[in-house]
Amino acid sequence: MNASTSPIKIYLPRDAAALALGADRVAQAIAETARSRGIEIDLVRNGSRGMFWLEPLIEVATPKGRIAYAPVKAADVTSLFDADFLYGGAHALRLGAVEDLAWFKQQQRLCFARVGITDPLSVEDYLAHGGYRGLKNALALSGADIVKIVTDSGLRGRGGAAFPTGIKWKTVLDASSAARAALDAAGSSESQIPNPQSRSFIVCNADEGDSGTFSDRMLMEGDPFCLIEGMTIAGIAVGASQGYIYLRSEYPHAHRALAAAIENAYAAGYLGADILGSGKRFDLEVRLGAGAYICGEETSLLDSLEGKRGQVRYKPPLPALKGLFGKPTVINNVISFASVPAILDRGAEFYRDYGVGRSRGTLPIQLAGNLKRTGLVEKAFGVTLRELLYDYGGGSYSGRLIRAVQVGGPLGAYLPESQFDTVVDYEAFAAIGAMLGHGGIVAFDDTVDMLEQARYAMEFCAVESCGKCTPCRIGSTRGVEVIDRIRANVDREKNLALLDDLCSTMRYGSLCALGGLTPDPVVSAIKYFSEDFS
Amino acid sequence: MKPAKINVVVESKAYKLPPLPAPMRQAVMQAIDAQREKPGALLPILHGVQDALGYVPPESLALIAHELNVTRAEVHGVVTFYHHFRASPPGRRIVRICRAEACQALGARALEAHAKQSLGIDFHETTSDGAITLEPVYCLGNCGCGPSVLVESSARGAVSGEAHATVELYARVTPEAFDELVGDARSASA
C-alpha cells in the first residue's frame, strides 16, 4: 500500500467492561503485529458500543466506512492481519458496520450518540461529532430560557427518582437570583464579580451504586465531554460557577477518563474563567466517594462532598434551595446532565417527541445479569420488558428459563414472567409496585432462590444503612434474622406476618429510599415466588 | 491530719496512641497540604493518605484533625463511616469480589465461597503471607459480564516499592479463573 497515506485508524475500546474481557491484550497484539509487519496504524482507544458479548470489538476505518470485527482475542490478531482486516477483508469475526447490526440499528441513541464512536479524550473529535453545539446555543440564551427548554423537553431525572429536571433547575435559578437581588439591594457590587465560591452549585451524582447499572460509567469513560457540556450548560442556566462530579471509588477507569477530559476541556477553553469568550465562568472538579452506597442518595452525597459522614438529611429544605454548603444546588445524575446537550442542540420538541405518556425522550437501558446479550440499549420509553429480555437480551446466558427480573437496582421489585409485558415507562412500573430507577435490568434464571434474594436485600440494607433512622438501621438487621427463621422453618406463618409488618414499618418510617424501598424486593419475592418461602 | 493529695490530672492511657513515625507523618502532611484549601477537604485528604500508605493509620487522625481545625471525633466518625477506608495495613493486593445481584445471577455466591475457602480467609482479612486482602464490593459496573473481580495494588510508591499502581478488572470469573488471577497477583507483587 501507498506509504504516504495517513495511518489507518483502528478503534478498540478502553471501556472497563472491554478491558475486563481482554481489550488491553488485544491492543498490545495489534500494536506488536503492526510494528513487526511495518504497517503504520493509529490505534484509538474509544468507548464501548455497548454489546458486551462482542467485546473486545475492533472497528477499522476503511474507505468504505467502519468495519467491525468481534469478539477478538489476542490470538486472533495475526489471522486478522493475514485477512487484510485493515481494508475490511473477510474473516470469521467480520461483522460489517455496527450500525447495520439489528441489535444496534433499532436503538435511538441520543445520549450515547458518540459513545464507542469518538476518541473520548479528544475535544476535536467531540466537536466533529456535534459536540458543544448545545453549549454554544445556551451561551446565546438567558438562564430562564435555557431552563424553559429543559422543562419543555420533558426530561426527568435519570438517577431513579424521575423528578422533572427543568423544575429543579428553575428552583435553583429563582433561589440564586433572589440571593443576587438581595445583594444588589444592599448596594453590594459583589454580584458583578464571578465568584468561585459560587452562589449556587452544580453537582453530578456519579455514585452509580445500583447493581445492574453501568450507563453512567460507560458514558463517563466513552464520552466524558458530553457530561462536562451538560454540567456547563446547567451552570450557565442557573448562574453557578462551580461544579462537582461525585464519582464512586469503585470506578477507577471512569476517574481516569474524567480527569483527562476535564484537563483537555480547560486547555481548549470549554471550562474555566471565560468559557468560549463569553465572560462566563465554570469550574469543574471530580471528587471521589469512598464505598458507601448511601452516598447515591442526594442529601447524603452533599454531606459527603462537604467532608462529613454521608448521612441523609431531612427534607425540607430541598437541595435546590439549601444544598451544598447551604447554597442552592442543582444535583442530577450523569445521564440527566448528558441528555441536556442534545436538547439544547436540537430543541425541546425533538427530545419530547420520543417516549410515551409522561416519560419523554430516551432511556439508556442496561441489560445485565443472566442474559446472553448484555449491554446498553438506548431506546425511547415504551419498549416492553419482554422485548428487552428476549429480542435484545437473547434469553438467559445459562440457557435456562428466566425466572425473575429485578429492575432499578437492589431496591427494585423482583418481577415474574407474568409481568414481562410491562412497558418501560416510569408510571407503568409504579403501577405494578416496581420502579424503573436508573434503568438497570438484572435477569435471573430458574436456579435462583428467591428467599436468598430477599435475605440479601435486607443484608445489603444493613451493610449500607447510614444509621440515621431506626427503621432502616435496625429494621434491616431484624429483617435478616426473621428471614433466617423462616428459612429454618421456625414459626413460619408467624414470622412471615412479622416480616410483612417489619416491611411496612421500614417503608413508611424510613427517612430515605434505602430503608423505604428495601421492602420492595422482599415483599415482591414473597408475593410472586411464595413457593421459595414455604 | 492532712487530707491525702489528690491528683486531678487524669491521664487516659486508652486514648494515647503512639506518635506517627516520621515518614508516615510526612506522607500525611503531604496529603493534607495538597488538599487543605479545598472546601470539604476531609475526604480528598483521607484518599490521599490511603493512596500513599495503603490505609489511614489511627495515629494520623489527631494530626488531620489538628490541621483542619476539627475534632478528632469528627475525623474518626468520617473514617469509620466509609467502607473504603482501612484502619490497618492491607495485603499487597486487594481483591474485591462483587457481591451484588447482577453478579449473583451469574454465580457470584459460589465464587465468594470458593474465594474464602481457597484463600483461607474471610472478607476484610489478609492472607498470612501478606499478599492478598479479600474485600466484598457492591457493584463494579461490570454487570453484563459477571461475576466481576477487581484487583488493586494497595499502596503507591514508597511503601510498596512497586513502580506502578495496578488496577485490573476481571469478567466472567469462574472459581478456576479466580485461582489463576490470585496466583498472578501473588507473583506480580512478590
What is the separation of C-alpha A391 from the centre of its chain, rounded to a whole number of angstroms?
A: 22
Asked if residues A254 and A206 have their Cβ atoms less than 8 Å apart, the reply is yes
A444–B105 C-beta distance less than 8 A: yes
Is pLDDT of A236 > 70? yes
**Are both A246 and A273 inside the same structural domain?**
yes
Residue A114 maps to a domain: no
Q: Is A211 on the interface with B (CB under 8 A)?
A: yes
- Interatomic CA distance for residues A223 and A339, integer angstroms: 12
The pLDDT assigned to A471 comes to: 97
B149-153/B132-137 β-pairing: unpaired
A502 and A526 belong to one structural domain: yes
Predicted local confidence at residue A163, as pLDDT: 96
**What is the pLDDT confidence band of residue A193, given thresholds at 50, 70 and 90?**
very low
Calculate mean pLDDT across residues B82-108.
96
Contact predicate B100/A211, CB 8 Å: yes
A424 and A503 in a single domain? The answer is no
Q: Is residue A433 part of a domain?
A: yes
pLDDT at B156: 60
Is the per-residue pLDDT at A180 higher than 80?
Answer: no
Mean pLDDT of A70-82: 97
The boundaries of every CATH 3.40.30.10 domain in chain B are 93-189
In angstroms, the CA A489 to CA A468 distance is: 33
A115 domain residue, yes or no = no
Residue A357 contacts by C-beta under 8 Å, 6 or more apart in sequence? Answer: A381, A425, A427, A428
pLDDT in tens, A252-262: 999 999 999 99
Interface residue A524 vs chain B (CB under 8 A)? no
Q: Which of A416, A445, A474 is the last residue of a domain?
A: A445
Please list the alpha-helical segments (H only) found in A446-511. Answer: 450-464, 470-487, 492-509
pTM to 2 decimal places: 0.95
Helix axes B175-189, B108-119, angle to 10 degrees: 40
- Quick: pLDDT tens for A243-254: 999 999 999 999
Q: What is the mean pLDDT of chain B?
A: 90
Domain contains A1? no
Percent of chain A with pLDDT over 70: 97
Mutate to test the interface with A, among B142, B150, B169 (most CBs of A within 10 A): B142
d(CA B69, CA A229): 36
Statement to judge: residues A208 and A231 lie in one domain: yes
Res. A94 pLDDT band, cuts 50 70 90: very high
- The mean pLDDT value for A316-324 works out to 96
The per-residue pLDDT for range A145-163, each reduced to its tens digit, is 999 999 999 999 999 899 9
Report the domain count for chain A.
4
Q: Of B138, B148, B152, B169, which to mutate for an interface test with A (greatest number of A Cβ within 10 Å)?
A: B138
Q: What is the pLDDT of residue A187?
A: 62
- At residue B37, the 3 state secondary structure works out as coil
A515 & A440 share domain = no
Predicted confidence (pLDDT) per residue in A474-520, tens digit: 999 999 999 999 999 999 999 999 999 999 999 999 999 999 999 99
Give the minimum alpha-carbon distance from B27 to chain A in angstroms, rounded to a whole number.
19
**Contact at CB, A456 and B101, closer than 8 angstroms:** yes
Are A46 and A119 a contacting pair, CB within 8 Å? yes
How confident is residue A39, by pLDDT bands cut at 50, 70 and 90? very high
Query: Measuring CA to CA, which residue among A52, A65, A89, A83 is closest to residue A11?
Result: A65
User: What are the residues whose beta carbons fall under 8 Å from the beta carbon of B65, sequence distance 6 or more?
Assistant: B71, B72, B74, B75
Beta strand B93-98 with B132-137 is parallel
Per-residue pLDDT tens for A409-450? 999 999 999 999 999 999 999 999 999 999 999 999 999 999
pLDDT at A325 over 80: yes
For chain A, what is the mean pLDDT?
95
The arithmetic mean of pLDDT across residues A116-145, rounded, is 98
Same domain, A58 and A81: yes
Check residue B154 and give its pLDDT: 80
Same domain, A394 and A419: yes
Question: Is the predicted pLDDT of residue A195 greater than 80, yes or no?
Answer: no
Predicted confidence (pLDDT) per residue in A285-301, tens digit? 999 999 999 999 999 99
For residue A192, what pLDDT is reported?
A: 44
User: Is A52 inside a domain boundary?
Assistant: yes
pLDDT at B2: 58
Please name which of A399, A411, A374 lies closest in space to residue A389, comparing C-alpha atoms: A374
Of A125, A134, A129, residue with least CA distance to A113: A129
Q: CB B101 to CB A21 under 8 A?
A: no
Residues of the domain holding A47: 8-105
Helix (H, G, I), strand (E, B) or coil at A245: strand
Q: Are residues A455 and A437 in the same domain?
A: no
For domain B16-81, which CATH number applies: 1.10.1200, 3.30.300, 1.10.10, 2.60.120? 1.10.10
Partner-chain residue, chosen from A212, A250, A253, that has the shortest CB–CB distance to B101: A212
Domain with A483 in it: what CATH number? 1.20.1440.230
Q: Which of A352, A370, A404 is the last residue of a domain?
A: A352
Q: What angle do CA A304, A305, A311 make, to 5 degrees?
A: 20
Q: Is B106 on the interface with A (CB under 8 A)?
A: yes
Q: What is the pLDDT of residue A199?
A: 82
* Percent of chain A predicted with pLDDT > 90: 94
**A141 and A76 co-located in one domain:** no
Residues 6+ apart with CB under 8 A from A52: A17, A21, A373, A374, A375, B144, B145
Using one digit for the tens of pLDDT, what is the confidence trace for B16-45? 678 899 999 999 999 999 999 999 999 999
Q: Where are the beta strands (DSSP E) in chain B?
A: 93-98, 132-137, 149-153, 167-170
Asked if A308 is an interface residue toward chain B (Cβ–Cβ < 8 A), one would say yes
> Are the beta carbons of A53 and A373 closer than 8 angstroms?
yes
Q: Is A275 exposed, middle or buried (0-12, 13-18, 19+ CB in 10 A)?
A: buried
- Provide the grid cell at B91: 495485603
How many Cβ atoms from other residues are within 10 Å of residue A517's Cβ? 23
Residue A252 lies in a domain: yes
Give the CATH number of the domain where residue A403 resides: 3.10.20.600
Residues A320 and A440 in one domain: no
Return residues 35-94 of B near A (CB < 8 Å).
38-44, 46-47, 74, 77-78, 81-85
Nearest to A382 by CA among A102, A166, A108, A110: A108
Question: H-type helices in A288-447, by residue range?
Answer: 298-305, 334-346, 348-352, 385-386, 426-431
Tens of pLDDT along A383-414?
Answer: 999 999 999 999 999 999 999 999 999 999 99
ipTM: 0.94
| Residue B138 near residue A209 (C-beta atoms within 8 A) | yes
Pairing of β A414-416 and β A402-407 = antiparallel
Burial of A177 (C-beta count, 10 Å sphere; 0-12/13-18/19+) = middle
Q: A352, A373, A405: which is the final residue of a domain? A: A352
Residues of chain B within CATH 1.10.10 domain(s) are 16-81
Residue A116 lies in a domain: no
Q: What is the model's pLDDT at position B159? A: 55
Indicate if the pLDDT at residue A166 is higher than 90: yes
Residues within 8 A of B (CB atoms), A 440-459 only: 440, 442-445, 448, 452-453, 456
- Write down the CATH number for the domain with range B93-189: 3.40.30.10
Lowest mean pLDDT among A331-340, A418-427, B118-127, B153-162: B153-162
**For B82, which of A292, A306, A453 is closest by C-beta distance?**
A292
Q: Is the peptide bond before A71 cis (omega within 30 degrees of 0)?
A: yes
